[in-house]
Amino acid sequence: MGWGGAALATMTAMLFVAPVVVQAQTSPSVIYACVNNSSGTIHVIAPNASCNANEIRLQWNVVGPPGPQGPAGPTNLFGLTVSVSGPGAGAVTSSDAGINCGADCTEVYPAGTSVTLTAVPVIGSEFAGWSGDCSGSASTCTVVLGTTRLVSARFEVPPPTTINGGYNLNQVVSYSCANGFLSYNISFFVFEASGPSVRVTGGPSFDGIMGGTGSPAGGDFSVEAVIPPVTYSLTGTFRDLTTWDGVFRFTCSGPDCSFVSPACTNQTYMLTGTRP
């Protein structure tokens, strides 16, 4: 019986609908099968088996020949994300300049890349420590990219612990009267607190040391110095440990003040002092 075009077409159509009978197969790379000429039924046979008289023998490769080599895949890449937190302010920079966070907080690196991060607080803040894939309170931290890395830096605002120290004035107490009898140039006051006692000196040109009451942690204060015939006083209230509002006065009393007018010897200044 010849295997003509019509019979082949009929067999091809029946290949997709006829049941397949699977037999033991010994070759892992080539499949052998027999196709019934009448029904189109196909069944797999062993490599050395024969088909019946009304069947045709077929064979085909399980795995085709290898294709051409494809292009190399990309190197493994991992992300590094940095954030900043806390009431203070600062930035985190990386050794390769890829990260400058606040503004640029994410970068992608090939696997195995070592990146050193540096925490930089602004003036008035301090670096408090790392969290995430960095730890500790040293200003630098090194991470190696073998997976996605998340790092956070915290910045704090250290409060002053006492009112000790200098406070710049919002205006300079610059005064000269009675041919230099009263002459001052005060641009700051320095507080020294111990318990309820407070000492205040002025500068750069003030001879008195005013003493009185106050608190090492702020609040109200009142100090004065008497350098005859003049009395100097400074009273006020701290808004917080960095800023106070007060009144500075000097008055002259007694017979030694008779040669100058009260307008010269009685002065009042409304002041605000802030830590530099």
Between CA 106 and CA 29 the distance in angstroms is 51
Q: Choose one of 156, 179, 201: the last residue of a domain.
A: 156
**Cα dihedral sign, 232-238-242-246:** negative
Stated as kind and residue range, the H or E segment containing 52 is none
41 and 12 together in one domain: yes
**259 inside domain:** yes
The most confident of 42-56, 90-104, 164-178, 179-193, by mean pLDDT: 90-104
Average of per-residue pLDDT values in the chain:
82
pLDDT single digits (tens) 86-144: 998 999 999 998 999 988 999 999 989 999 999 999 877 899 999 999 999 999 999 99
**205 inside domain:** yes
Residues spanned by the domain of 260: 165-274
**40 inside domain:** yes
**67 inside domain:** no
91 and 34 together in one domain: no
In 3D space, the residue among 1, 162, 147, 153 whose CA is nearest the CA of residue 85 turns out to be 153
Q: Choose one of 108, 131, 156: the last residue of a domain.
A: 156
Q: Two tokens at 271?
A: 């002041």
**What 3-state class would DSSP assign to 95?**
coil
| Bond from prior residue into 121 cis (ω within 30 degrees of 0) | no
**pLDDT(190) > 90:** yes
**140 inside domain:** yes
Count of positions (residues) in the chain: 276
**227 inside domain:** yes
pTM: 0.46
41 and 105 together in one domain: no
**70 inside domain:** no
Backbone angles phi, psi at 87, to 5 degrees: -75, -20
Query: For the ranges 111-120, 226-235, 260-269, which has the lowest average pLDDT?
Result: 260-269
Task: Give the gyration radius of the chain's Cα atoms.
Answer: 46
100 and 39 together in one domain: no
Q: Choose one of 61, 91, 107: the last residue of a domain.
A: 61
pLDDT grade, residue 65 (50/70/90)? low
Residue range 143-156: average pLDDT? 93
**What 3-state class would DSSP assign to 183?**
strand
Domains: count for the chain: 3
pLDDT single digits (tens) 9-27: 333 434 433 444 444 444 4
The most confident of 63-67, 82-86, 182-186, by mean pLDDT: 82-86
**66 inside domain:** no
Sheet holding 100-101, edge to edge: 100-101, 90-94, 114-121, 140-144
Residue range 206-223: average pLDDT? 87
**pLDDT(189) > 70:** yes
Compute how many other C-beta atoms are within 10 angstroms of the C-beta atom of residue 209.
14
| Bond from prior residue into 102 cis (ω within 30 degrees of 0) | yes
Q: Two tokens at 152?
A: 């956070």
142 and 201 together in one domain: no
**pLDDT(231) > 90:** no
Q: What is the pLDDT, as a whole number, of residue 220?
A: 93
Between CA 39 and CA 62 the distance in angstroms is 25
Contacts of 124 (CB under 8 A, 6+ apart): 88, 89, 157
